[in-house]
Structure 1
């Protein structure tokens, strides 16, 4: 499928990249500002983590609907509307000292924006647009989730250090509003339909077919672990953990910037490799290396150099799960409902993120330590790596296994 000739398929990749950069920067700033907000407003870490968890629960609930809208209407209204919601939510956070309004702004208003401006929405739109080089295009487009933070998060840290954490949220709100207008004007009004897409089919029937496929459950539960360990554990708690270890805000934020840079390289490399190698093996290796990185994280204090070693190792395998997971979903389920499939799978990612964010805050408040969170993340990542190795690269890859035909039937039914 191709987007409008006047814009070209790579404009979608560019806009998706920029939109994700803003959305994920707003999400990252909550973790960066958490210790300062605790001191200024007198809130507990578990309460602030709970706000992040609420946002992820909203995303988990709404992600399938956003995916379905991507299939039906394309990404234009989702990205423009989502960026507007993020701007409103970030602006409300910057302006208030009320726990209720802070929760409403970040945990509800911005959360709906995060749902619309999500990696699964951008990835699904790209998967529908590209056939050749789908993995590479997905890797580049979704890498905005990390690469855009290279400059944004350190700049917000500088604002926090010289002025206030509120200025960081306010600046991001302005950027979100500007990009919302750009997305609305640049992206085509209606995404052209692929062959066979005119018969949209029954949404509930498609959901039933998806959830009955064993491959769906492997991708869903492994992506839930991805959400727990990445969005929940690292995105929410890495910077507070760095502060707990005694590292200053600016070097810690710079480490987060390095993490984002390596994430970018890891996502592009993963997308490139997913077009060329056996994807279940690649995905399994990503989770196993992620597990190993959490062992290192237990021992970073008091040497900040070890924190930088960790962010390089973890960064290579952080968001690199996305291009491989999208590629496997497209192969097994077809592209007509890739938005719905990735929406459902991404709801698992958001649910895992909520559990990771909330449990990390609670464990810290109870034991004044993040050790249990890192050990749990190690175990879960290792299990996910073993489980995804049971997948076939494509439906019908071999015909000796009893269940090999099931994913193929799902793909045929949904395509």
Structure 2
């Protein structure tokens, strides 16, 4: 019994570790943007387009990865995704032109990020737990931000001391080593619920989902979540802070601390989702996220305002994930979690792609980001309203 419990929490720990690595690599495009603009003469809209295309590739892969992890377990997807990211990092380190950037980051990294992502980790971890399910999911997925607390500032130091090409070489080596480690650690026996394969196929499950109002509620709110988190903040926060006059290291440290509070927020929301109404909790998270953007619009020359935004947005950023997963299990059933989270991840990526491109386009047009933050305020509050509508939908979990 004790060994079984240890095995479950080991998988939680592995999920935490790999998400910490991969999500840090994803977020570095914000750090690299000013450097590439100076070295290659690339516009921010061009670089943002590459980031948006990467998110679209992720969106194409995510639903199938989320569905398949229930049948085959997480190991082949995690290891394969990490190796894809490692190869893309090598190509990034040697790129000399825009087409190499699009192939390495947008295409190859997009494949890796689409597989080594929160929807795969959620689908792998959630079936293992009957008690403390939300907490386990919250801890595992918190790795998506926890690693950035330490790694992003280290990356900034590497960039200043050695250069961006050398930084990507280090990434490649680390990803390859972690892939080998995961091949061994994830060989542990899967839980009973993970072994049983769906009798229905992907398309049958998808057809079932589109008939459910609760699926549309979580899908569209999570798509707006992508715009207001990954799209505008992960891609444009550090360039925005640079435009506000903050040094690169200060911006990186702010992002790192934001990630630390993000980690706390995910664990706390997972803990609370086991103990309070999940719909109300999700609604509060979206509305508070929207209000945090108001603070961001006033950070110019004001470190106190920047610190307040760092705390507020961090707590209400990825904290939507464990709560959304809990709502899916309650309303649609555990067996539908993998495919539903995969489709939601696709919507999240498309929303993020829109946010990433929109921010770059507006900056090239007006040399400012204010319109993007106003849009983010409105869309986050809309996501909260959509989420609250779930309160009036009857749970009908699918048992087979």
TM-score of the superposed pair, with normalisation by structure 1? 0.93
Distance 1:60 1:108 in 2: 12
Measured against aligned partners, the alpha-carbon deviations of 1:128-153 in whole angstroms (never above 9, x if no partner) come to: 11111000000000000000111111
Distance 1:3 1:71 in 2: 24
Distance 1:30 1:195 in 2: 35
Deviation at 1:199, TM superposition (A): 4.8
Distance 1:220 1:80 in 2: 28
CA contact (8 A) 2:71 2:198 kept: no
CA contact (8 A) 1:7 1:187 kept: no
Asked if 1:27 corresponds to 2:26, the answer is: yes
CA contact (8 A) 2:71 2:195 kept: no
Q: Return 380-389 or 314-323, whichever deviates more.
A: 380-389
Aligned to 1:396: none
Asked if 1:336 corresponds to 2:330, the answer is: no
Residues 266-285 of structure 1 aligned to structure 2 (within 5 Å): 266-285=265-284
CA contact (8 A) 1:3 1:9 kept: no
Deviation at 1:189, TM superposition (A): 6.6
Q: Return 189-198 or 171-180, whichever deviates more.
A: 189-198
Aligned to 1:324: 323
Richer in helix (by share): 2
Measured against aligned partners, the alpha-carbon deviations of 1:9-31 in whole angstroms (never above 9, x if no partner) come to: 01111111111011111111111
Where 1:389 maps in the other structure, the secondary structure is: helix
Structure 1 residues 262 and 74 mapped into 2: Cα distance closer, same or farther (>3 Å)? same
**5+ residue gaps in structure 1?**
393-400
CA contact (8 A) 1:25 1:153 kept: yes
Structure 1 residues 361 and 199 mapped into 2: Cα distance closer, same or farther (>3 Å)? closer
Residues 6-17 of structure 1 aligned to structure 2 (within 5 Å): 8-17=7-16
Measured against aligned partners, the alpha-carbon deviations of 1:23-51 in whole angstroms (never above 9, x if no partner) come to: 11111111111111110111000000111
Aligned to 1:382: 381
Measured against aligned partners, the alpha-carbon deviations of 1:167-214 in whole angstroms (never above 9, x if no partner) come to: 222212211111101111111276344299345223211111111100
Distance 1:195 1:383 in 2: 35
Structure 1 residues 362 and 202 mapped into 2: Cα distance closer, same or farther (>3 Å)? same
Aligned to 2:45: 46
CA contact (8 A) 1:286 1:385 kept: yes
Residues 69-148 of structure 1 aligned to structure 2 (within 5 Å): 69-148=68-147
CA contact (8 A) 2:70 2:195 kept: no
TM-score of the superposed pair, with normalisation by structure 2? 0.96
Instruction: Tell me how many residue pairs correspond in the alignment.
Output: 400
After the TM superposition, which segments of 4 or more aligned residues of structure 1 sit over 6 Å from their partners?
Answer: none
Aligned to 1:156: 155
Asked if 1:256 corresponds to 2:255, the answer is: yes
Structure 1 residues 196 and 174 mapped into 2: Cα distance closer, same or farther (>3 Å)? closer
Structure 1 residues 299 and 199 mapped into 2: Cα distance closer, same or farther (>3 Å)? closer
Deviation at 1:4, TM superposition (A): 8.8
Aligned to 2:67: 68
Measured against aligned partners, the alpha-carbon deviations of 1:230-277 in whole angstroms (never above 9, x if no partner) come to: 000000000000111110001110001100110011000000000000
Measured against aligned partners, the alpha-carbon deviations of 1:358-407 in whole angstroms (never above 9, x if no partner) come to: 11100110111101110000000011111211113xxxxxxxx7x63xx4
Where 1:391 maps in the other structure, the secondary structure is: helix
